[in-house]
Amino acid sequence: MLPLIKLMRPHQWLKNGFVFSGVLFGHAWGDPVKFGQALFAFAAFCMLASAVYVMNDIIDREQDRAHPKKRLRPLAAGTVSLFSAMVLLLACLATAVGLVSVGGNQAPWLFALYFGINVAYSFGLKHVVILDVFLISAGFMLRILVGTIGIGIVPSHWLLLCGLLLTLFLGFAKRRAELETMDEAGADHRRVLDDYTIPLLDSFISIVAAGTLVSYALYTVSAETIALHGSRQLILTLPFVLYGMLRYLWRLHRCRGGGDPAQELLTDPHLMLATLGWMGMVMAILAGKL
């Protein structure tokens, strides 16, 4: 069972926390109906994302054997058979469909769109430079939309903008980490890496990192935000965001990290504390404690 669980990549379920952004910033944490819908959406996305990971590992199993880390994945290493992986894929999809059916989400088509985008990505679009990262970002944006319009909350334009820029930052950082890890053999593992260079990716990362920080800072002091949350104190959360992004860049450049955001968060205490500090501060401010 352990290789099958590993194939599902449960540590990546952290990314599905984006589903709760609507509950948090929409002041809906005290609404049991909306919170329950968000929990069902989170669980459905966990299963759907695992189905996508299994599908990707089935498709990329030969290329993964050329990667110094991905060669240890269950399919590439041969610890899980192709048949078992196919059964697991169908089981994850069926569970996701069941959770969406009973979860009361008002936008079930968003789940289908997420899976459709990932199928298109896996079967060709992942080889299109720049678009590949935008499609990764789209997956995160769909999580935000499922947790907002899917449970009857109108998403803030600021929330969508910050989410887009942050996920583009993580996506380009992932490509840089992959390119540096594979060096000249990068295209043997992922063809699109042949279209990127380290300086080019550094430029992309700088642009979206600066955009993320500026847009988040403007969000915290905008009149719309102050009127919605009844507080001017959200600016106090900016240092946590700034520290977290700088720490992530440090790990990307000095520790050859950045290839797996969920793994970075789980293994780096600085990133964990910055994230928990940000969440604690946001919740205290929105609850009127600060």
Q: Does the pLDDT of residue 69 top 80, yes or no?
A: no
Residue 184 pLDDT: 47
CATH number for the domain that contains residue 5:
1.10.357.140
What is the DSSP code (8-state) at residue 106? Answer: S
- In terms of domains, do 48 and 167 share one? no
Rg, the chain, Cα only:
19
- In terms of domains, do 151 and 163 share one? no
Contact 146, 41 (CB under 8 A): yes
- In terms of domains, do 148 and 162 share one? no
SS3 call for 111:
helix
Nearest to 228 by CA among 275, 163, 278, 159: 159
Q: Does the pLDDT of residue 74 top 90, yes or no?
A: no
Q: For residue 217, give its domain range.
A: 156-290
Q: Does the pLDDT of residue 55 top 50, yes or no?
A: yes
Rounded distance, CA 138 to CA 15, Å?
A: 13
- In terms of domains, do 200 and 167 share one? yes
State how many domains the chain has. 2
Q: Does the pLDDT of residue 28 top 80, yes or no?
A: yes
- In terms of domains, do 245 and 175 share one? yes
- In terms of domains, do 118 and 169 share one? no
Local confidence band at 29 (pLDDT 50, 70, 90 cut-offs): confident
Q: What is the mean pLDDT of the chain?
A: 90
Rounded distance, CA 266 to CA 263, Å?
A: 5
- In terms of domains, do 119 and 177 share one? no
Contact 11, 5 (CB under 8 A): no
Give the pair of three-digit tokens for residue 163. 């989410």
Give 117: exposed, middle or buried? Use CB within 10 Å, 0-12, 13-18, 19+. Answer: middle
- In terms of domains, do 90 and 223 share one? no
Does an H or E element contain 36, and which? Answer: helix 32-59
- In terms of domains, do 60 and 161 share one? no
Summarize the confidence of residues 2-24 as an average pLDDT: 90
Among the residue ranges 53-57, 154-158, 180-184, 236-240, the one predicted with the least confidence is 180-184
Q: Which of 128, 155, 182 is the last residue of a domain?
A: 155
